[in-house]
Amino acid sequence: MEQKKFDFKEIQGREERLAPGHRMCAGCGGTIAVRNVLKALHPGDKAVIGNATGCLEVSSYMYPYTAYEDSYIHNAFENAGATLSGVETAYKALKKKGKLTENYKFITFGGDGGTYDIGLQSLSGAMERGHDMVYVCYDNGAYMNTGVQRSSATPMYADTTTTPTGKVSDGKPQTRKDLAAVIAAHNVAYVGQTTFIGNMKDLYTKSEKAIYTPGAAFLNILAPCPRGWKYDAPDIIEICKLAVETCYWPLFEVVEGEWILNYKPKNKLPLEDFLRKQGRFKHLFKPGNEHLIEAFQAEVDKRWEELLFRCQA
């Protein structure tokens, strides 16, 4: 698809599709993700927004108030993919029967719990069937709405309420699932992994591609949660930058099966720069736990090398 030159002022000047006044926490990464993805809808284009149960849903559509300027549907926790696939199919059916003339886009949001875990089957089905829709995961790496329980997106060693650190526990024992790769293996039209960097150009560009590429698209957005990650809320942009500069969260896309690396740090920073600012990794910096950081670093390095190979970068 053709993309116009990124014009920060024009884009940020577009009408808000996520209205202010919702009840998300100050500094919430999920909200930044939603607001900016919706900015990528071209002005005047109609959309139906979907949503899995989670922080976003209970805070943005609390009866009788909705924060959505577009039509919006929440169904349950694990079925955002299937639900929006039903909406998209209804659109096709009504259009075919001449009951609808305007064009609509279909975008659904889920947290990592609703996407990596309980909603994975529903997401996989919707992607495999190739509905013309975008599934956006705002990945904050745990079940934040219910109080910071681990998910399969939680990074290794993170202290969560179901992988608490203790005398015999170093936090989450497993590494995180690479969901973007899982969805890319569905041979969908577009997969993008991004986060909040600089003037949001990467997020905008990928959102626009995801929305306007015909077929199924998936966006994985690292969306820090100040409560769950235990950092000072204003530090969110720095934390996202460190996630990318340490190669914990590489920026890449998969277009029609081709893996493309969008950013390669000149000086790959040590992982501990990303970990140090977050209370959930505090225990890793206790004397005697150096081997845990080493193991985590080795995991990040291994995945980075795999990605470089896939992207032939």
Distance CA 138, CA 123 (A): 14
Minimum distance between the CB of residue 134 and another protein, rounded to whole angstroms? 15
CB within 8 A of 304, min separation 6: which ones?
247, 250, 268
Query: Do 149 and 161 contact (CB within 8 A), yes or no?
Result: yes
Q: Which is nearer to another protein, 80 or 200 (CB)?
A: 80
| Shortest distance in whole angstroms from residue 31 CB to another protein | 16
Shorter beta-carbon distance to another protein: residue 5 or 96: 96
Cβ nearer to another protein, comparing 12 with 71: 71
Give the C-alpha separation, 28 to 138, whole Å: 11
The pairing of strands 46-51 and 104-111 is parallel
Distance in Å, CB of 187 to another protein, minimum: 16
Q: What is the smallest separation between the CB atom of 104 and another protein, expressed in angstroms?
A: 7
Tell me how far, at minimum, the Cβ of 79 lies from another protein, in Å.
4
Outline where DSSP puts E strands in 145-188: 165-166, 169-170
Q: Which chain residues interact with another protein by CB under 8 A? A: 46, 48, 50, 57-58, 61-64, 66, 68-76, 78-79, 81-94, 96-97, 99-102, 104, 121-122, 124-126, 128-129
Nearest to 66 by CA among 51, 45, 81, 77: 51
Task: Quote the CA–CA distance of 208 and 20 in Å, as a whole number.
Answer: 22
Between 1 and 93, CB nearer to another protein: 93
Pull the structure tokens for residue 259.
Answer: 């893996």
* Pick 70 or 178: Cβ nearer another protein: 70
Tokens of 97: 């029967």
